[in-house]
Amino acid sequence: MELLFLGTGAGTPSRQRNVTSIALNLQGVRSGSWLFDCGEGTQHQILRSAVKPGKLEKIFITHLHGDHIFGLPGLLTSRSMNGISEGITLYGPPGIKTFVEMSLSLSGSWLTFPLEIVEIGAGELFSDEHFRVTAFPLTHPVECYGFRIEEHDRPGTLDAERLLADGIKPGRLFQQLKLGKTVTMEDGRVVDGSRYLGPAIKGRTLAIFGDTAPTAAASALAAEADVVVHEATLEAAMEEKANGRGHSSTVQAATMAKDARAKKLIITHLSSRYLREDAERLLAECRAIFPATEMAHDFALFPL
């Protein structure tokens, strides 16, 4: 899996940073991808990336501020005009359904693919064969959520040498054995695949925060995550201003990651007041507290 940042700015786009959108490529698990927020111009950013609109399975919207949703109607309608028929599930706070349906209706637009819109609250959104996704409420002037994506543990490595030693030869049933299932071999023997598996491989955990001031929910949302994506809208010297508008400073983002025992922090959602030459200074503020911090730039790619 990998994270691709399509937009890393806050509030308004700048020449160096578009507004918020993040793509999660599920390669290695399944063929699709998920999108987190869809600020204005996201589809233009997608055109400059490896993201395939036809492979989008799900879109998660953290909150209804324009820099997180104004690109959504355009992306959906362009997807239709390009003849894509695969459906999408859209998750977002109450009001997202009205926003999408009104935008399509007033613009005389329509969709050629199934669109399921799920208006969310705090709690588990879904759990399938690969992932569990949970929404956590954040502290912002409008209803806002962060998402914890937990990959289920995977079966351990199949001990092929031991199978061969027990007279079980490679064949069409090996795939079932790799999943730990019990199968009946062609010679009639019943083989329990779990007896030939090594220790389970722990799944990865990713925490993606929406806009937020420091919040009590952060400890559960980010707890021991492999990667945390968190806003750092303003520098430490402007912390009071950041918090007053429902945002966090660099130092607050880094402190949260440290307290949550996260493995890596990626900061994003930087104010347009900061130019590229300011980035190292903001990153240094984070690393002074949490050394395993990276800063996202538009089109930055982070393997998970």
Residues with catalytic annotation?
A: 67
CB 303 within 8 A of CB 12: no
Residues 6 or more apart in contact with residue 266 via CB below 8 angstroms: 3, 227, 228, 229, 230, 293, 294, 295, 296, 302
Q: Is 278 annotated for ligand binding?
A: no
C-alpha to C-alpha distance for 283 and 295, rounded to whole angstroms: 6
Which H or E element spans position 287?
helix 276-287
C-alpha to C-alpha distance for 61 and 75, rounded to whole angstroms: 14
Pick the closest to residue 67 from 105, 48, 27, 39 (CA basis).
Answer: 39
Q: CB neighbours (10 Å) of residue 189?
A: 11
CB 203 within 8 A of CB 128: no
Q: Is 211 annotated for ligand binding?
A: yes
Q: Is 37 annotated for ligand binding?
A: no
Pick the closest to residue 210 from 40, 26, 64, 87 (CA basis).
Answer: 64
Q: Is 68 annotated for ligand binding?
A: yes
C-alpha to C-alpha distance for 162 and 159, rounded to whole angstroms: 6
Q: Is 140 annotated for ligand binding?
A: yes
Q: At 72, list the tokens.
A: 């959504």
Pick the closest to residue 140 from 286, 42, 37, 6 (CA basis).
Answer: 37
Annotated binding site for Zn(2+): 63, 65, 67-68, 140, 211, 269
Annotated binding site: 63, 65, 67-68, 140, 211, 269
